[in-house]
Amino acid sequence: MDNNNLIEKFKKWEFVIDEEKADKLNAYYQLLIEWNSKMNLTAITDYDDVCIKHFFDSVSLLKYIDLKEGQSVVDIGTGAGFPGIPLKILRPDVEFVLIDSLNKRINFLNYVIKELGLSKIKAIHSRAEETGKNLEYREKFDFCVSRAVARLPVLCEYTIPLVKKGGYFISYKSIKTEDEIKEANFAIDILGGKIDKIENFMLPDTDMVRNLVFIKKVKNTGSKFPRNAAMIKKSPLVK
Ligand SMILES: C[S@@+](CC[C@H](N)C(=O)[O-])C[C@H]1O[C@@H](n2cnc3c(N)ncnc32)[C@H](O)[C@@H]1O
């Protein structure tokens, strides 16, 4: 994997990355492919595809937020580390927590963190709805991100309790976002959120649309949320 090639790709996408960041992204790609042969991490394995559909997609958010040094981001249902790891590589000055309910994936992520020498990042084996009750994490994050985990009414109950008042939950969605938002309005409101904006764009050289849904936390979340997993599944917060 040629670092210059990756630097050029990012330049085309209007991101400046240096040699060290390109090196870390390429090392991450190699570990992803290596471990993918032993466990299910990603269906996308071609280098150029991973660069667009995982790396660029993950970091695209940085064009739309003012992420300051020392702020914190939690990635819910991070899986193989998307969007959390590429975001961390581009922003070493920001604190990251990656959460997933599957321990095998957390083991992979801890290996990635060690091999790439990443700091100010933790990978935690937990369910989002348990993390949201834990006072160490509840309402502690400036930003929460999540891609491909659940429909919005359920996802909001996983994520909004973790965001501090004034912070944002950003959901990486693809098509038909409007219907999903309508369905989630009740959940967003009851959990203390408010739709702030939706940014959409095409992933480069694909026909894939990305919608970033920005939900601002405007009120603290009531102590009865998040409910337990069975309850969230049985009766999602839909009117
Ligand atoms: C389809 S994968 C998406 C992974 C990654 N975000 C991505 O976009 O490539 C969904 C991930 O969410 C995790 N997950 C699902 N429900 C969860 C929950 N309640 N708490 C934490 N992780 C959860 C799964 O274990 C899985 O790794």
What are the tens digits of pLDDT across the range 155-175? Answer: 999 999 999 999 999 999 998
Identify the pLDDT of residue 1.
79
- Mean pLDDT of the 93-122 span: 98
Torsion of CA 177, 182, 184, 188, to 10 degrees: 110
> How many domains are contained in the chain?
1
Tokens of 21: 């960041």
Q: Please identify, by atom number, the ligand 1 atom nearest to the C-alpha of residue 81.
A: 5
Residue 11 lies in a domain: no
State yes or no: pLDDT of 141 exceeds 90. yes
pLDDT-derived band at 176, boundaries 50, 70, 90: confident
Q: Please identify, by atom number, the ligand 1 atom nearest to the C-alpha of residue 126.
A: 21
The secondary structure element, H or E, covering residue 123 is strand 121-125
- Mean pLDDT of the 110-136 span: 98
Mutate to test the pocket of ligand 1, among 36, 149, 169, 227 (most ligand atoms within 8 A of CB): 149
Residue 13 lies in a domain: no
The binding site for S-adenosyl-L-methionine comprises 77, 82, 128-129, 147
Residue 215 lies in a domain: yes
Residue 143 lies in a domain: yes
What's the CATH code of the domain at 169? 3.40.50.150
* CB 23, CB 3: distance < 8 Å: yes
**Strand pairing category for 95-100 and 121-125:** parallel
Residue 219 lies in a domain: yes
Residues lining ligand 1, CB < 6 A? Answer: 77-80, 82, 99-102, 105, 127-129, 147-149, 158
Q: Please identify, by atom number, the ligand 1 atom nearest to the C-alpha of residue 79.
A: 27
Residue 55 lies in a domain: no
Q: For residue range 179-226, list pLDDT tens digits in order.
A: 999 999 999 999 999 999 999 999 999 999 999 999 999 999 999 999
* CB 31, CB 54: distance < 8 Å: no
Distance 105 CA to ligand 1 centre (A): 10
Identify the pLDDT of residue 175.
82
Residues paired with residue 214 on neighbouring β-strands, in sequence order: 170, 197
Residue-number span of the structural domain to which 136 is assigned: 67-234
Distance 171 CA to ligand 1 centre (A): 13
Residue 160 lies in a domain: yes
In the block, residue with structure tokens 């991450």: 28
